[in-house]
Amino acid sequence: MARVGAIVSAFVMWAPLAEGTDDEAHAAIMEAVAGHVEDGFTIREEYWKGELESGGKKLIRHQLFRGNEYWFWVASSIPGCDVKLEVYDANGASVTLERSEKGRVRGVRVTPAQTSSFYILVQISRAPGEQSGKPAVQLIDWALVYGYR
């Protein structure tokens, strides 16, 4: 039993710690994008979420349709994070047309030149100087929402 306790303690000590929740991040986005709904955008109920280590990246493959206009938004519940969002075509060329920034929410607008799979890159880094006094590895939650019209 003591051994199990030791193993559990060791795991707790080394397990990456996560702050905030992706639900908070999602809620922040939904609040920020209300104006787009009035502009005729349909915001999808489905969204991507997860956790990344500081400086970590996530690439998401997504089908886009020529003729539709898209906005993608990303946020973390942790204030002060450096959140980057970029959309690439299948050749790895950026197709981002416009960027937006509202509070902790970052957005990019895309009007695909052809119907195909595209790649959305999410990159999040903790604000410089925030690491001091905290455990070495901390996970940062994120959520990504998109809308189309």
Residue ranges in contact with another protein by CB under 8 A: 42-48, 50, 56-63, 65-68, 86, 88, 90-94, 96-99, 114-117, 119, 121, 148-149
Whichever of 35 and 45 has its CB closer to another protein, that residue is 45
Q: How far is the CB of 8 from another protein (least distance, A)?
A: 25
Q: How many CB atoms lie within 10 A of CB 95?
A: 19
Whichever of 41 and 130 has its CB closer to another protein, that residue is 41
Q: How far is the CB of 84 from another protein (least distance, A)?
A: 9
Q: How far is the CB of 32 from another protein (least distance, A)?
A: 18
Q: How far is the CB of 123 from another protein (least distance, A)?
A: 10
Beta strand extents in 69-137 (DSSP E only): 70-75, 82-88, 98-102, 105-110, 116-125
Residue 1 CA to residue 136 CA, distance in Å, equals 29
Residue 87 CA to residue 36 CA, distance in Å, equals 19
Q: Which residue has the tokens 């070495």?
A: 136
